Amino acid sequence: MELRQDLPADLRRRFQSGRICLDFTHTGGEGEYTRWELLHRPQDASRFLSLIIGTESFRVRRNDMSRIIYLRAAITSEARARAAGEIAPAEMLEVINEAAANPPLVTQLGNDSNALFLSGTTSQALSTLARDAIDLFASPHGKRIRICEARDCELLLVDASRPGRRRWCSMEWCGDRQKKRTASRRAQRGDAR
């Protein structure tokens, strides 16, 4: 089973939003997000769905791809509207609700008291992601969806910190880059004086 922590840092940061539904939106998208696209073939969808949800791999068929991409677009639209304080088109909600109406993946309690998902069908995986989205959007954390503050990043995150000061998708990536930029700006100002 492939784990988030085994990915290179620039790919790993996509899957650290704090919620599986938002991590799913970071696998690509439409318009400006096509540059992020990871789900080119059913094998890619199988790999990243299992990585995000934390299960053994799924069997994704070619004709599952449009459902996967459609749900991803709906969750993306809803999450980004919330991050911007706007309202997403109603049909996006319908797509999420329809996916959630199917049975989800089976959960089990692991040895370390964590909830684990068992592998299942693509439809179960999509239901699990859609239910996570509903749970997030309907909870107080739904108001804490933010976009990473690094200029060229745009990944989503849930600020679950008590003081509400999470700013970066990943401290080791955008947080660190920003710290270095600030330090170099300071150094440049120092040189100019």
| Residues at the site binding Zn ion, with contacts judged by CB under 5 A | 148, 150, 153, 155, 169, 174
For Zn ion, the closer of residues 141 and 167 by Cβ is 167
Distance (Å, whole) CA 21 – CA 60: 18
DSSP string, 45-65: HHHHHHHHHTSSPP---GGGH
For Zn ion, the closer of residues 155 and 158 by Cβ is 155
For Zn ion, the closer of residues 26 and 131 by Cβ is 26
Nearest-approach distance from CB 153 to Zn ion, in angstroms: 3
How deeply is 4 buried, as exposed, middle or buried, from its count of CB atoms within 10 A (0-12, 13-18, 19+)?
A: middle
Asked whether the beta carbons of 66 and 86 are under 8 A apart, the reply is no
Residue type, 103: P
Distance (Å, whole) CA 79 – CA 85: 10
Nearest-approach distance from CB 181 to Zn ion, in angstroms: 13
For Zn ion, the closer of residues 9 and 106 by Cβ is 9
Nearest-approach distance from CB 150 to Zn ion, in angstroms: 4
Nearest-approach distance from CB 12 to Zn ion, in angstroms: 12
